[in-house]
Amino acid sequence: MPRSDRLLKLIQFLRTRRRPVGGAQLADELGVSLRTIYRDIQTLIARGAPIEGQAGMGYVLRPGFTVPPLMFSSDEIEAMVLGSQMVARSADITLTKAARNALAKITAVLPSGRSDEADASGLLAGPISAAVESVDLAPIRSAIRVERKIWISYSDEAGVLTKRKIWPILLTFCATVRLLAAWCELREGYRQFRTDRIVAFAETGEAYPRCRHALVNEWREIAGLSEPQ
């Protein structure tokens, strides 16, 4: 295991413990010698990690410590690169730009010697042939965030157009389509709408009658979907 990954794992392990953890337990958890643990603890303290304790007494990480970007593991860096590529290929223009900007900010603060890992990643997202949207998804994503109802004009598979007031709760990005999960006031139930069939939409300014978290849980239960891990 690379030392940078081991230091991250050590920090993450301490973050999950409220009481001091002995050096021997840490050494067993990481599969290294006790001497290596002592050396890694001192390295983390020198880098600003608020670790308290000493050899023979155990170590504890003070609450509130946020792991800086330089502590990302190699696998995490590759996951972010792959994720940003997939977003860039499947999302709306605003989200695509945000993904690229976020990755640039992360790689900019990686320490010397690791900043090239993003460019050198051996993972690549393949082409995605999603249906062309008739409307901009950015305002719909905004409506989801602020929990506001919207009006949509929706064309079904047969081309029949209906106007509906919905409570948008989730956008699912699939390989060929994007699906908007929402409570539909017209049908008085949860529905999934293909976003390429939304002909037009308008904001209502009306808030959901219930919080989105509760609606999402209810939708998942009805759909028979498990909670994301």
Separation between Cα atoms, residue 92 and residue 95, nearest integer Å: 5
Separation between Cα atoms, residue 26 and residue 32, nearest integer Å: 8
- DSSP, residue by residue, 67-89: --GGG--HHHHHHHHHHHHHHHH
Nearest CA among 145, 64, 67, 69 for reference residue 102: 69
Separation between Cα atoms, residue 48 and residue 38, nearest integer Å: 16
What pairing do the DSSP bridges indicate for beta strands 161-173 and 148-155? antiparallel
- DSSP, residue by residue, 179-219: EEEEEETTTTEEEEEEGGGEEEEEEEEEEPSS-HHHHHHHH
Contact between 4 and 49 under an 8 Å Cβ cutoff? The reply is no
Which residues sit opposite 219 in a β-bridge? Answer: none
Separation between Cα atoms, residue 84 and residue 50, nearest integer Å: 32
- The pTM assigned to this predicted structure is 0.62
- Cβ count within 10 A of residue 222: 10
User: What per-residue confidence (pLDDT) applies to 229?
Assistant: 41
* Eight-class DSSP state of 9: H
pLDDT in tens, the chain (229 residues): 677 778 888 888 888 887 889 999 999 988 999 999 999 999 988 888 888 887 778 899 887 766 555 567 778 888 888 888 888 777 778 888 888 888 887 777 676 666 677 777 777 777 776 677 778 888 999 999 999 999 999 998 899 999 999 999 999 888 788 899 999 999 999 999 999 999 999 999 999 999 999 999 999 998 887 655 4
In the chain, alpha helices (H)? 3-15, 23-30, 34-46, 74-90, 93-108, 137-146, 212-223
Nearest CA among 66, 18, 7, 64 for reference residue 41: 7
